[in-house]
A and B are shown apart, each in its own frame.
Chain A
Amino acid sequence: MHGMASYFIRRLALVPVTFACITFLVYAIMRLAPGGPIEQARLQMLASQAEGGGGGGDISQTGETTLPKEALEQLRKFYKLDKPIFIGYLVWLGLYPDEHKEGRFSGILQGDFGTSYRWNDPVLDTIVSKFPISIYFGLIGYLATWIVCIPLGVFKALKHRSVFDTATSILVFIGYSIPGFVAALALMLLFATDNFGMNWFPLGNFRSENWDAMWAKGETWWCIKDQLSHTFIPLIAYMMAGFATMTILMKNSLLDNLGADYVRTAFAKGLSERRVVFLHALRNSLIPICVGIGGAIGLLFAGSFLIEKTCNIPGMGLLGYNSLIVRDYPVLMGILTFGVLIRLVGNILSDIVLALVDPRVRFS
């Protein structure tokens, strides 16, 4: 175990390095790029001026609004753009005193993710408030994939090269080739509009608008039904991603094991086929599938830009999408931080799980 322990310690030691590299890269891109927060503020100001003075004011006069130099300087300071990129990054990280906080260290290391440029809310709160939706879809999608894929994979392996196998293979390949959001779009067209006379599900959104009111009224049954009908289409879309790989992995893994020597031995000593397959072979062939468990930590942060945009679900993905459009850098950095950390830790967790369930595996 000694070699393995040092392996995992080394892996863990690499996490901060990787994390720093990625966040710095993205931070630098944001800082270097044109059209930052000041530009956004100017555009907003312009828009409000145009609206306010629409009565007959000469808009063309305000077309080239130039802020006074002092104000610009103040804005730069407010958005922390007055420091060099590297210092700014260290402030964000919390390794350099922050002038705005009376020279205290206040960065993500201290748990301060800053405030959103756009909404003026603390970034951490904004992100945490999206966790329930992520967990909701993440967990249901994850479980549903397992519940469908493992039996399907096992069955396909047992009926290898049968009609059932070929037919479901085609299904699996279709699932593999269609991206989730495209599937969501197609399902919405089929089952959420009147075009094909099958308007069974709502067109997007996480819940109906009056959900909270109904919940308060105690209409629990209606609420559950409403929630479930809103869940169906995005859930299928989320399942598309892992469905094909997981089924094929399960099938091939079981087929591999069914050809192994220990299965031959088990048959030779007269065990029933049922016992051999489900007690001996299946246990071993679940190992590659178990590796995915480490990624389950990603449930906290599930939420695809594409599917949430398509189905209009106000989760992590849509938050990221909207923040990208309005250049809400603190929120974007916050999302990036969580995303990268969860992925890195998830990878290591996967390896640990693999080492735990499969004693043959040795990392060094």
Chain B
Amino acid sequence: MGTLGTAIYLAVVFVGGWWLTTRGIPKAAAGIGRRLGFRMRMTPITAKRIQRFKRIKRGYWSFLFLSITFVISLFLELIVNHRPLAIGFKGRVAFPAVEEWAGKALFFLPISSFHSRKDFGQAGENEVDYAFFRKCIENPDALRPEIRKAEEKMRRAEKRFKRLSPPGKDASEFQRERYARRKAAYEKRKGQYETVLAARKDFESGEAWILPTLYPFSPNKVRTDIEERPPNSPSLELGIPLGTTTSGRDVLVLLLYGYRISVAFALIVAFVGYFVGILVGGIQGYFGGWVDILSQRFVEIWGSIPFLFTIMLIGSLMTPNFLMLAVLMIVLRSWLGITFYVRGEFYREKAKDYVQAAIGAGVSDWKIIVKHILPNAMVPVVTFAPFGIVAYIGSLVSLDYLGFGLPPGTPSWGALLRMGLENVKFHPYLVTVPVVALSLTLFMVVMVGEAVREAFDPKVFSRLR
């Protein structure tokens, strides 16, 4: 792919990400909301708050940057992947990266991104070696050693096979079986040799093409193209902008995939937790009385559980996956904090005339809670959300750092940081890269949070002298 192609690719990624974030997703969400019967009309006061938020540039730009990069990262398999976007060989076309992405996005459908080597001019039954395929297109001579190897293997199988004479009528079961086995082995090797030999012609005649992703490396793939022993320091010449880990994985790739996991985790934990917390807090504040007292006690007790300790304990007993970790985090922590605020808001709002009027008019409790009070009690939720996200990203990183989090091999910032700690003396970039990435991300989220707080809940200080 030439420079122009790369530029177009990048442009598509960023413009697409920008469009999806600012237009596509909001519109789609509004459309779905309308179908479900929610009327999306902004009250003047909300519109004013959003206007105010947009005017706080550092927060607004941080918000745009974070949300656009996160939306882009949802398509990471199409951008950073050792599998190519599309690959063609002798009329056979496949889209491995797209299939991988679709398989993850539509996890309930059995979509496989596996393509066998034999269909793409390589010997064997494993998955295609895409990097080698690319090399062959650039220079079909790269196939030479492969051909030699295949030929050697074929000759060896042939020798072993030819040594036997075909079993006669009185041959034993064992002889017959051995003959069949060696014949099959020989035929297999011969087939492989022919495939590779024929492939050379196809590569030379330009019947093979490939459309690789922007950065054709995957988080769980070792950078075999680097000849020096890992860890390798960052080097643009070698094509490792952020270096490799001690096991030879590409740090940039891990960082990008880790960003997606961290942010997705925090968003899920925050949103689900707030949903539960609003529900509980709303019920407490609205009904009051015994419901309130009992559930308050429960929340108090539950909140006293040292949650990181408990998650670590559970994490040390079994390796939790992403979803389990998120559920643990929600159950043990994220729904608690917001209940106090929502409860307080509901207490306050319930005493107001409009709620009393609604109760008098016989509107159902549920409807009052959701439609009347909730929109007026959202300020603490909105202002706390960004700080919650900071906390949950931090928690996931901490757990991974200590080794009680996501399963080993998952691209995570915590694991990178731990590797940094182990190599702090001799491989400084292994510390610098994740520390800078984490700090910058969290700093931007804090900026968003500060701006949201300023816009939604402004404090006006008058100062006398």
Contact = CB atoms under 8 A, between A and B. Distances in A.
A26 B447 CA distance: 37
A327 B314 CA distance: 11
Contacts of B313: 26, 29-30, 324, 332
A182 B463 contact: no
A173 B450 CA distance: 9
Which of A22, A188, A324, A344: most chain B Cβ within 10 A? A324
Given A18-B301, A178-B439, A255-B461, A189 B424 contact: yes
A232 interface: no
B309 A177 contact: no
Interface string B431-465: 11001001100110111001000000001011111
Interface in B341-384: none
Interface stretch (B147-155, B243-251, B255-263, B396-404): B396-404
A259 B431 contact: no
B425 A193 contact: yes
Nearest to A11: B300
Nearest to B461: A255
B401 to A, nearest CB: 7
Contact of B439 (A18, A182, A320, A325): A182
B254 to A, nearest CB: 17
B75 to A, nearest CB: 27
Nearest to B432: A189
A35 B314 CA distance: 11
Contact of B308 (A203, A267, A305, A336): A305
A258 B464 contact: yes
B317 A34 contact: yes
Interface in A249-267: 252, 255-256, 258-259, 263-264, 267
A309 B402 contact: yes
B431 to A, nearest CB: 5
B317 A21 contact: no
B123 interface: no
Given A26-B310, A177-B442, A182-B438, A189 B304 contact: no
B394 to A, nearest CB: 5
B39 interface: no
Contacts of A25: 305, 310
Contacts of A185: 417, 420-421, 424, 431, 435
B417 A324 contact: no
A55 B435 CA distance: 46
A85 B300 CA distance: 25
Interface residues of B, number: 45
B402 to A, nearest CB: 6
Contact of A327 (B316, B420, B425, B445): B316
Interface string B398-423: 10011010000000000001001100
A339 B306 contact: yes
A252 B459 contact: yes
A186 interface: yes
A148 interface: no
A87 interface: no
Nearest to B308: A305
Contact of A259 (B297, B301, B306, B463): B463
A256 B459 CA distance: 9
B464 A188 contact: no
A324 B428 contact: no
B267 interface: no
Contacts of B438: 178-179, 182
Given A18-B300, A177-B390, A325-B316, A263 B464 contact: yes
B443 to A, nearest CB: 4
A352 interface: no
Nearest to B390: A177
Interface string B284-321: 00000000000001001100111011101110111000
A306 interface: yes
B304 A258 contact: no
A256 B397 contact: no
Contacts of A173: 443, 446-447, 450
Contacts of B398: 179, 181, 305-306
A195 B428 contact: yes
A22 B305 contact: yes
Contacts of B310: 25-26, 29
Contact of A174 (B394, B397, B443): B443
Given A189-B432, A306-B401, A259 B394 contact: no
Nearest to A335: B309
B432 A177 contact: no
Given A29-B310, A305-B402, A176 B446 contact: yes
B301 A186 contact: no
A179 B462 contact: no
Nearest to B442: A177
A179 B309 CA distance: 17
A34 B318 CA distance: 8
Nearest to A327: B316
A146 interface: no
Interface in A22-47: 22, 25-26, 29-30, 33-35
Contacts of B428: 189, 193, 195-196
Interface string A59-103: 000000000000000000000000000000000000000000000
Interface of B: 297, 300-301, 304-306, 308-310, 312-314, 316-318, 390, 394, 397-398, 401-402, 404, 417, 420-421, 424-425, 428, 431-432, 435, 438-439, 442-443, 445-447, 450, 459, 461-465
22 contacts: A14-B301, A33-B317, A173-B450, A174-B439, A177-B390, A177-B443, A179-B438, A181-B398, A185-B431, A185-B435, A186-B435, A189-B432, A195-B428, A255-B463, A258-B461, A273-B465, A306-B401, A309-B401, A321-B402, A332-B313, A336-B306, A343-B304
